Amino acid sequence: MRNLILASSSSYRRELLSKLHLTFESCAPHINEEALPGEAAGDLASRLAREKALALAGKYPDHLIIGSDQVAECRGTLLGKPGTKERAIEQLIQSSGHTVSFHTGLCLVDTRDMSHETVCETYSVHFRELSREEITRYVELDQPLDCAGSFKSEGLGITLFEKMEGTDPNTLIGLPLIRLVELLRHKEINPLGR
């Protein structure tokens, strides 16, 4: 079995990857995550996923490195991690009654030959109309300060939505496992194999 590296410090991504019952290490890559002028959200997510994986390539020869990055957008505006309660409340007010699309880039780099595959999955969340009181209470209870879009769908955040649309709900949390399994199988790694 090839050695796997998750190019991320995210506890959410580590938890998701653990679902596959594969042995892996995680290491935080250090890259500039700023968008390029005019860069579309999906292109940004794909580029950052690839750059994260490639940033660790020299450190891990003969490994498979998984890079992933997520960019949320609402009505053409990119939504980052809020960092503060005030910013989380602002983001949720902006999202109320609208759709937020989460573009999650995924890249698998094989450092044996430096080949790589990059994909981008989109998952959309349709917010119901929310009162400021509901938003404030939600932020107090779920503390989504380290989450793009200011909510945790795996927690109380589910109460904010009318519906969700996409192929893989793990994409919303930050690692599209269905596509990752596909990429790993291209490298003859099957979580259900022996």
Neighbours of 167 (CB within 10 A): 12
Of the residues 69, 142, 146, 168, only one is catalytic, namely 69
Residues in a beta bridge with 63: 3
Taking a C-beta distance cutoff of 8 angstroms, is the pair 140, 99 a contact? no
Can 110 be counted among the known catalytic residues?
A: no
Dihedral of alpha carbons 31, 11, 87, 124, sign? positive
- Cα–Cα distances (Å) from 182 to 5, 20, 107, 156, in that order, read 17, 12, 12, 31
Hey, which residues are catalytic here?
69
